[in-house]
Chain A
Amino acid sequence: MDAYNEKVMAHFFNPKNVGEIEDADGIGTVGNPVCGDVMRVYLKIEGGRIVDAKFKTFGCVAAVATSSMVTELVKGKTIEEALSITNRAVVEALEGLPKNKIHCSLLAEEAIKAAIEDYQRKTKNLLKEVKE
């Protein structure tokens, strides 16, 4: 396989946003240990903007690095902006990944989307409760 670049290794050795947010507004878990990696993203959302993001990941170097990068990318973004972040954007921000590790970046995109969906579901339920 190709080697990882320095930026990827830097994010792997010192990942940003590791951990969990106790009172997260949205949590998304994607992947499956049987197939490979598992990524869990925690989002804190205020006024439609992501004010904090953290992650926990079971996976290879690329999985950890993309988790680190995608949580960096979404911080400060509106929900719409965060939803538009593609796996390609994550790979570009990391200045590339080995070909057979591109699938890890897909997981990063999906984890953010899953966390936002979770947030939207929760707020919808909350609205319903308020209305009732």
Chain B
Amino acid sequence: MGIYLDHNATTPMREEVIRAVEPFLRHAFGNPSSLHVYGRKVKQAVEEAREKVAWAIGALPEEIVFTSGGTEANNLALKGIVNSREKRRRNKVLVSAVEHPSVLETAKALKKEGFEVHLLPVTPQGVVDLEKMEMLVDERTLMVSVMLANNETGVLQPIKEIVRICKAYGILVHCDAVQALGKVNVQVNELGVDLLTISAHKIYGPKGIGALYVRKGLKIASILHGGHQEKGVRPGTENVIGIIGFGVAAEKAVQDLREGVMERVAELRDLLERLILEKVPFVVVNGSGQRVPNTTNISFAFIEGESLMFLLSQEGIAVSTGSACSSGSLEPSHVLVAMGLPHELAQGAIRFSLGKDNTCEEILKTVEIIEEKVNKLREFSPLYDDFLRSGLDWQSYLLSRR
């Protein structure tokens, strides 16, 4: 049996979700737009799922737009808002430097269209630098997009503060909460955001389904052209199976959170982190302050994350280097680089993201294997050689790299 510690990449579908979608894989196949009995039955189930998803984030059902996932919801949030404005009096868009590529790349596309796009810098802890943000916002700023929890480090962003700053200038705030839902309380009114992205497959739901919360009354343009589905904001026949599964997954995720499931996950995450720090020398935990309970990002000095990831994978342990999207790319994680981590430490970063079904035994086993594999890689690392020969102690070495 493998040990899965990559829940920020995706999660397995929970039993309740599988059971709930099964009828829609079989006899309940109607198109929700059809007015006959086949369609009406499915339409009703879709609307019930919408209510559940809305409930999970404290929104109204009509404020939920289903999309093909987090990436599409993030695209829709940014492009939908800028395209809904006829006069471009406000032409500035700010996104944090540690956003998911689906926000960063969309922002880049807006820049090509002539918008003024700025990246909000983060502190070495991984938190958006509010002082620097206050210097960037003004009356010409249309929207700000900052994630609630970072996918690589788990660091929580001060969304309420960001909203407070933005409101003073009438700036819209979008929040990518894909990695936060089910891990911390996500309530749109408490946060005060105008748009919020969530995704099902990070909360034990199906892949290929996400949603964008759009505050009631806020005008947003569609990025696809087509039919009337999702009030025309997202045309195309609904992903019925995804939506039904998302409804159940969202409801269960919030119930689990309220019942304290994440507190146990936090204990295991803390245990993993503490044991690694105790047993493996020359490691750094990336990101501090408030984090989601399931994530820790650790740099193992003198070795490369991908190598460690494959050695762990051979033992059945699934972890990730940076985000799944950037495994295989040559650049070290943009998140860790934005936090000012030296490149060689950023390259040695591994993300552990735990889930509700991980056990203490799995954590102990993981630490044991990590210890062995890190030693193996360091044995043939020229950087480790150089460090040992330099006679520097670890703290001085770290300082010399910054």
- Name A residues whose Cβ lies closer than 8 Å to a Cβ of B: 1, 9, 12-13, 15, 18-20, 29, 33-40, 55-61, 63-64, 98, 100, 103
Q: Is B303 an interface residue (CB 8 A)?
A: yes
17 contacts between A and B (CB under 8 A): A1-B329, A9-B310, A12-B307, A13-B314, A33-B344, A36-B330, A38-B382, A56-B380, A56-B381, A57-B381, A57-B382, A58-B303, A58-B304, A63-B304, A64-B307, A64-B380, A100-B328
Contact B328 A56 (CB under 8 A): no
Q: Which of B303, B380, B383 contacts A15 (CB 8 A)?
A: B380
Q: Is B306 an interface residue (CB 8 A)?
A: yes
Specify which chain A residues have a CB less than 8 angstroms from the CB of B381 in the assembled complex.
Answer: 56-58
B residues 266-318 touching A (CB-CB < 8 Å): 302-304, 306-307, 310-311, 314
Q: Is B134 an interface residue (CB 8 A)?
A: no
Contact A100 B382 (CB under 8 A): no
Q: A-side binding surface: helix, strand, loop or mixed?
A: mixed
Q: Is B379 an interface residue (CB 8 A)?
A: yes
Task: Give the interface size bracket for B toward A.
Answer: 20 to 34
Q: B-side binding surface: helix, strand, loop or mixed?
A: helix
A15: nearest residue on chain B (CB-CB)? B380
Contact A100 B380 (CB under 8 A): no
Q: Is B358 an interface residue (CB 8 A)?
A: no
Contact A55 B380 (CB under 8 A): yes
Given contacts A12-B310, A100-B330, 7 further A-B contacts (CB under 8 A): A1-B327, A19-B379, A19-B380, A34-B344, A56-B381, A58-B302, A100-B328
Given the complex of chains A and B, what is the CA–CA distance between A64 and B301 in angstroms?
Answer: 17
Specify which chain A residues have a CB less than 8 angstroms from the CB of B314 in the assembled complex.
Answer: 13
Q: Is B385 an interface residue (CB 8 A)?
A: yes
Given the complex of chains A and B, what is the CA–CA distance between A103 and B331 in angstroms?
Answer: 13
A-B complex: 4 closest residue pairs judged by Cβ atoms: A1-B328, A33-B344, A40-B382, A60-B306
Given the complex of chains A and B, what is the CA–CA distance between A30 and B327 in angstroms?
Answer: 24
Q: Which of B327, B328, B329, B383 contacts A58 (CB 8 A)?
A: B383
